[in-house]
């Protein structure tokens, strides 16, 4: 049975910023098949950031939106609920892994016993927590 990995906005920018293949690195670390999930609220956040940015910043978000095509998009948006809370709720509900580089979100996820995938040393992914 494949593992579910829920990708955050900033995690999707890792390939453009640091040249790390988040998909193959994730599968290498987890040593299992993986289903990559992006919430529709994350897609909207990427689109908004793209329209608000220029130059290399815009390029980073354009690449991230291209990567979304390799994922399953789940409409989990809830009005008035911050994207970070939606990510935590969804990851918990599917017993999945949250992929983020946001320090506060990582802390919240580990406090809730949600495994977290993150970029370490700007060159490789690492897993915080355990996967059953």
Name the strand (E) or helix (H) holding 61. Answer: helix 55-68
> Which region, left, alpha or beta, applies to residue 129 given φ > 0 means left and ψ of -120 to 50 means alpha?
left
The mean pLDDT of 84-110, rounded to a whole number, is 96
Q: So where are the chain's domains? A: 9-128
Q: How confident is the model at residue 1 (pLDDT cuts 50, 70, 90)?
A: confident
Q: pTM of the full predicted structure?
A: 0.94
Q: Quote the longest CA-to-CA distance of the chain.
A: 42
Average pLDDT, the chain: 94
Cβ neighbors of 101 (< 8 A, separation 6 or more) are: 8, 10, 11, 14, 118, 119
Q: Which fold has domain 9-128?
A: Rossmann fold (3.40.50)
Q: What tens digit of pLDDT does each residue of 17-35 get?
A: 999 999 999 999 999 999 9
Question: So what's the pLDDT on residue 56?
Answer: 85
Q: Which residues are bridge partners to 126 per DSSP?
A: 118
Q: Are 117 and 91 in contact (CB under 8 A)?
A: no
């Amino acid at each position: 049975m494949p593992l579910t990995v829920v990708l955050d906005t900033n995690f999707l920018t890792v390939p453009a910023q640091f040249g790390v293949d988040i998909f193959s690195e994730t599968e290498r670390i987890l040593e299992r098949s993986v289903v990559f999930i992006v919430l529709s609220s994350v897609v909207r956040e990427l689109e908004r950031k793209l329209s608000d940015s220029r130059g290399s910043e815009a390029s980073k978000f354009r690449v991230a939106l291209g990567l979304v095509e390799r994922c399953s998009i789940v409409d989990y948006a809830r009005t008035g609920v911050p994207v970070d809370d939606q990510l935590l709720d969804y990851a918990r509900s599917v017993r999945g892994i949250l992929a983020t580089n946001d320090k506060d979100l990582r802390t919240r996820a580990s406090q809730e016993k949600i495994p977290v995938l993150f970029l370490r040393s700007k060159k490789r992914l690492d897993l915080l927590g355990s996967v059953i």
